[in-house]
Amino acid sequence: MSGFTGRYVENTLRSKGHEIVDPEIASPGFDLKERDSLVTAFAVAEPDAVIHLAAISFVGHGDPADFYRVNTVGTTNLLEAAAAARHVPTKIILASSANIYGNSPLSPLTEVMPAAPVNHYACSKLAMELMARQWFDRLPILVTRPFNYTGVGQSPSFLIPKIVDHFRRRAEVVELGNLDVARDFSDVRDVAAAYARLLDSPVAGAIVNICSGRSYSLQWIVDSCAEITGHTIKIVTNPAFMRAEEVKMLTGSSAKLDAITGKMERHDFIGTLRWMLDA
């Protein structure tokens, strides 16, 4: 609820008439790593549906084991608690990640393409997916693979907010890694809208990408921010930001998402950057 994505999803669902229950209120001390706290949350809240977005998502997080404790084991705890609840939810949406595709030479990436994770974050999400499949016959689970997205309120530890922050402050220098890295970026408001539509859909026992179908390089992001602000920043390449296992390009196919939710109108990404720069 308090996370970057969760706030936008909550606002979108409330605007559609859904009642939102904060698990931290239902179960004080709520912790994915503590199964009993999840059991209590389900017993108190008796949710009709669950959208599970909580995770360690920063690829550069210091302790690799944390990815598995939270992203994999934590999700296992959640599903066990849901299955044991007196009131079993009618839909459980789990957020995986497009990072599980790794450095695939294929584009755009569809849900049937093989996984090839190249970092602990992606491995923990793939392990979560494989575990969740064991519950498909017992719980109405829909697994999403969100590609990159951004918006107002995202931590500056992520690249686009970092770049935007430097332009907003009219900084003279910014340290970045590989500017040729390209990602399928979406506006967080579009991602929230996709979650709302997926929640209302009858589809379960499936995996679906959440993406725009178009990739932008970091160089394009920098150039666009410079054009919008009229400010030029010196780019310094910092080797510390260059990862050997860096995924060079991720572009997703939104065909399955569109088939489930209907074609959605998406924000123009230049508009997203303007929104962030003006915030």
What is the rounded end-to-end Cα distance, in angstroms, of the chain?
21
Name the nearest CA neighbour of 205 among 145, 140, 261, 154: 140
- For 160, the enclosing helix (H) or strand (E) is helix 159-168
Catalytic residue among 8, 121, 195, 216: 121
Is the alpha carbon torsion for 103, 106, 111, 115 positive or negative?
negative
Question: What is the number of other CB atoms lying within 10 angstroms of the CB of residue 136?
Answer: 14
Clarify whether 8 is annotated catalytic: no
Q: Is 243 helix (H, G, I), strand (E, B) or coil?
A: coil
Name the nearest CA neighbour of 18 among 55, 51, 54: 51
Single-letter code of the amino acid located at 257: L
Which token pair is 143?
């697994």
Which token pair is 245?
């296992």
* CA 55 – CA 278 distance, rounded (Å): 28
Which token pair is 14?
């409330």
Which token pair is 223?
């150039």
Q: What is the dihedral of CA 173, 178, 182, 184, to 10 degrees?
A: -70
Catalytic residues: 121
